[in-house]
Amino acid sequence: MNQLSKLILNTCLIFFIIPCKIYCQDIPRNESTEEKLTIAAREIIKEAGTCVLITLDDESIPMARIMDPFPPESDFTVWFGTKSESRKVDQIKNNPTVTLYYQDSDASGYVVIHGKAQIVDDEKEKEKRWKNAWEAFYPNNKEGYLLIKVSPEWMEILSYTRGIVGDPITWKTPTVTFDK
């Protein structure tokens, strides 16, 4: 390879390839720490107010419904109230794998929590997790009231307004994995 060819190749590296490697990186994702992701997730969850709970029915068909969750605990465990006769109770008993979807209030992002759900029928927990607005749904003094506890396995967060974006090629969203 002659000197001119080497000069052209090096110039190409400097002016085209290196800047492309720098500017084509998913910079916000690389800068996103787990703390930044969890802070953004809590903000989105709080602003969303409600979420979608997705379970699987007997035929493994996803079933989605809007829910009124309690705010997540420090470890992102999420609790819901429900009627004992609801389809979601049987679906969770048959397959505890669930997904929660929270959409940012301005629709610029979302949080998805994937985890395992369990049905809780403990009186102390039920007293602790009650909303007076639910009285119309339980006219017989909370008869048939159960709790759903979702223990997270992983969570993904996307928020353009907070600078948290997915991979530019695969669109893989930044995630936080929880200890089991």
Mean pLDDT computed over 106-122: 96
- What would the two tokens of residue 47 be? 């602003």
Kindly report the length of the chain: 180
Confidence of residue 144 (pLDDT cuts 50, 70, 90): confident
CATH class of 33-177: mainly beta
Q: Which pTM value belongs to this model?
A: 0.80
Contact 95/56 with Cβ under 8 angstroms?
A: yes
Strand partners for 150:
78, 117
> Where is 79: in which H helix or E strand?
strand 78-83
What's the CA gap between 68 and 15, in Å, rounded?
53
Q: What is the mean pLDDT of the chain?
A: 84
Helix (H, G, I), strand (E, B) or coil at 150: strand
Please determine, for residue 143, whether its predicted confidence score (pLDDT) is greater than 50. yes
- Give the three-state DSSP class for 6: helix
pLDDT of residue 7 exceeding 50: no
Residue 69 has pLDDT above 90, yes or no: yes
Least confident of 32-46, 82-96, 102-116, 126-140: 126-140
Q: In the chain, what are the domain boundaries?
A: 33-177
Question: Which whole number is the average pLDDT over 158-164?
Answer: 94
- Summarised one tens digit per residue, pLDDT across range 21-64 is 333 333 343 444 899 999 999 999 999 999 999 999 999 999 99
Predicted pLDDT of residue 139? 78
